[in-house]
A and B are shown apart, each in its own frame.
Chain A
Amino acid sequence: MIELSGVTKSFGSNQVLRGIDLRIESNSSMVIIGGSGTGKSVLLKCILGLVAPDGGRILLNGEDVTRAERDAFLARFGMLFQGAALFDSLHVWENVAFRLLRGAQKRPKAEAREIAIEKLRRVGLGPQVADLYPAELSGGMQKRVGLARAIAAEPEIIFFDEPTTGLDPIMAGVINDLIREIVTEMGATAITITHDMTSVRAIADNVAMLHRGKIRWTGPVSELDTTPDPYVQQFIHGRAEGPIEALR
């Protein structure tokens, strides 16, 4: 279980997170929604330790993440980045098996390659892709490789940062289905940030809405459409009019 209490983060005078309180149960899929610039990515990076929060506490199974041993802590996580963040100079299979080729989880090269090809197959990519470079793949294929890399070491917790951004609706649907299947199959805890309401409905068990650096609403996805919260209603229906100010 991941628990955040009173998490704050500022960049200069810009207060991005203003006291986040959120609880994410193990083996569940939490989707965090919210407008651009509301601090969703910063929140994920705070949990991962990529950005140090200014205040508050983040606990993973009761342990303060800032005191955890870094390598062992990070080994529990997988992350799919918005732009996939594949390493250009490495073959696709080396990207997928990155963690398995070095560090504490190092395996023999042949075994790591075999696992990478199996993970590529899991995300719908054939073995012929393994020896290509990321630049030779389409955006959708890169996302799938990023997903394969995120699950390669079978992490307990997987983060998805805007998994469908920049993809056509069909490919977005494929990625959403893959995420849902993989999370269920692996019994992992998933945290996704997205603007894409189709993704929310496909992926989420629970939803949290971030607004002005605070959790505005949280609840099961089944209650998303019925909640009376005007902020949530404006956001999920994409209305220009409402309490959330839209710059024009």
Chain B
Amino acid sequence: MSPAAPIAALGRATLGALAAIGRIALFAAAVISHLFRPPFYPREFLNALIQIGWLSLPVVGLTAIFTGGALALQIYAGGARFSAEAVVPSIVAIGMTRELGPVLGGLMVAARVASSIAAEIGTMKVTEQIDALVTLSTNPLKYLAVPRVLAATLAVPVLVAVGDSIGIAGGWLVGVNRLDFNSATYIKNTVDFLEVWDVGSGLVKGAAFGFIVALMGCYHGMNSGRGAQGVGRATKSAVVAASVLILAANYLLTEVFFTS
């Protein structure tokens, strides 16, 4: 093996990664540009809204309630070390609305929605349905990707809001039943310490995560390889890429929102 081989391999990998980022950026730009140009497909948008938003409610709700409960227990145990058990309601509320609600909600939606979008569009590609769309004078990106991306961008903040509420309720349930908090005091502390921007920042993150999830599902689906293996690989790539991008975007948005 030539001594330069590892450097060449690193160069190839870097160029490959940069090319992939470029392709995804162009795909995202095309999707965004088509959001504002007719024709629009309201039926596909409503279908996507139901699939992405309504049907994700159970999984997001369950994730939130258990997370809120566990968070209350953790904060109580940690706070007890310096006699700060009383901060449980406010920290649960802030933790859920700023971080855990949007991030865990986004990740659960990524697992459920990015995979299903990639598998559906990948299968359409393999079975020539995407070619069929073109021959029927329909732009596949506009018909398949735009409604899904728009629906996810609008639906995930709503899911995050519902998840925040359920998570805070989970913390309250544990606080009142396991940690002997007074119910009225717990609720008062939650409301008093929670600020509008705590909730608002989480909703903005939710919109960004929804955009990422649907974009990754559509991109990997439309670039799926042939056969069952190709669709499987596209599905896996969509979930992995969406999850990693959600975590990276979360860090960047937190930097922007909460550091002066």
CB <8 Å contact, A82 and B135: no
Is B138 located at the chain interface by the 8 A CB criterion? yes
Residues of B within 8 A of A71 (CB): 137
Q: Is B195 in contact with chain A by the CB < 8 A criterion?
A: no
Instruction: Kindly list 11 other residue pairs between chains A and B, CB separation below 8 angstroms, not including A50-B135, A75-B137, A81-B132.
Output: A77-B135, A78-B135, A79-B135, A83-B128, A86-B129, A86-B132, A87-B129, A88-B129, A98-B138, A99-B137, A103-B137
Among the listed A49, A85, A103, which residue makes an inter-chain contact with B129, where contact means beta carbons less than 8 Å apart? A85
23 contacts between A and B (CB under 8 A): A45-B131, A50-B131, A50-B134, A50-B135, A71-B137, A74-B134, A74-B136, A75-B137, A77-B135, A79-B135, A81-B128, A82-B128, A85-B127, A85-B128, A85-B129, A87-B132, A88-B129, A98-B136, A99-B136, A99-B137, A102-B138, A103-B39, A104-B137
Q: In the complex, which range does the number of interface residues on chain A fall in?
A: 20 to 34
CB distance from A47 to the nearest CB of B (A): 11
4 residue pairs, one from A and one from B, having the closest CB atoms:
A85-B132, A85-B128, A74-B137, A79-B135
Q: Is B47 an interface residue (CB 8 A)?
A: yes
Shortest beta-carbon distance from A99 to chain B in Å: 5
Determine if A138 is an interface residue (Cβ-Cβ < 8 Å). Answer: no
Hey, what's the 0/1 contact readout for B124-155 against A, CB within 8 Å counting as 1? 10011101101111100000000000000000
Residue A226, interface by CB 8 Å: no
Q: Mark A70-112, 1 if CB is under 8 A from B, else 0.
A: 1100110111011101111100000000110011110000000
Q: How far is the CA of A105 from the CA of B136 in the complex (A)?
A: 10
Task: Report the bound CA distance from A86 to B131 in whole Å.
Answer: 11
Nearest B residue (CB) for A161: B128
A residues within 8 Å of B by Cβ? 45, 48-50, 70-71, 74-75, 77-79, 81-83, 85-89, 98-99, 102-105, 149
Q: Considering the chains assembled together, what is the distance between the CA atoms of A105 and B134 in angstroms?
A: 15
Distance of A40 from chain B, by nearest CB (Å) = 14
Q: Closest residue of chain A to B132, judged by CB?
A: A85
Give complex CA distance A79, B127 in Å.
Answer: 14
Task: Tell me whether A79 and B137 are in contact in the complex, defined as CB-CB below 8 angstroms, given that A85-B127, A102-B39, A103-B39 are known contacts.
Answer: no
Chain B 111-133 interface 0/1 with A at a Cβ cutoff of 8 Å (1 = within): 00000000000001001110110
Chain A residues contacting B136 (CB-CB under 8 Å) are: 74, 98-99, 149
CA of A88 to CA of B129, assembled, Å: 9
CB-nearest residue of chain B relative to A73?
A: B137
Q: How far is the CB of B140 from chain A (nearest CB, A)?
A: 11
Chain B residues with CB under 8 A of A99: 136-137
**Complex formed: what's the CA distance from A103 to B138 in Å?**
8
Query: Which residue of chain A has its CB nearest to the CB of B135?
Result: A79
Could you tell me the distance between the alpha carbons of A102 and B42 in the complex, rounded to whole angstroms?
A: 11
B47: chain A residues at CB < 8 Å are 89
Q: Are B135 and A48 in contact (CB under 8 A)?
A: yes
Tell me the B75-133 residues at the A interface (CB within 8 Å). Answer: 124, 127-129, 131-132
| Cβ contact of B127, chosen from A70, A83, A104, A105, cutoff 8 A | A83
B137 CB to nearest chain A CB (Å): 5
| B124 contacts across to A, CB distance below 8 A | 87
Within 8 Å by CB of A81, from B39, B131, B137, B138, lies B131
Cα–Cα, bound, A103→B128 (Å)? 21
Task: Specify the chain B residue showing the minimal Cβ separation from A77.
Answer: B135
For A87, list chain B residues within 8 Å (CB). 124, 129, 132
How far is B129's CA from A248's CA once the two chains are assembled, in angstroms?
Answer: 33
Residues of B within 8 A of A48 (CB): 134-135
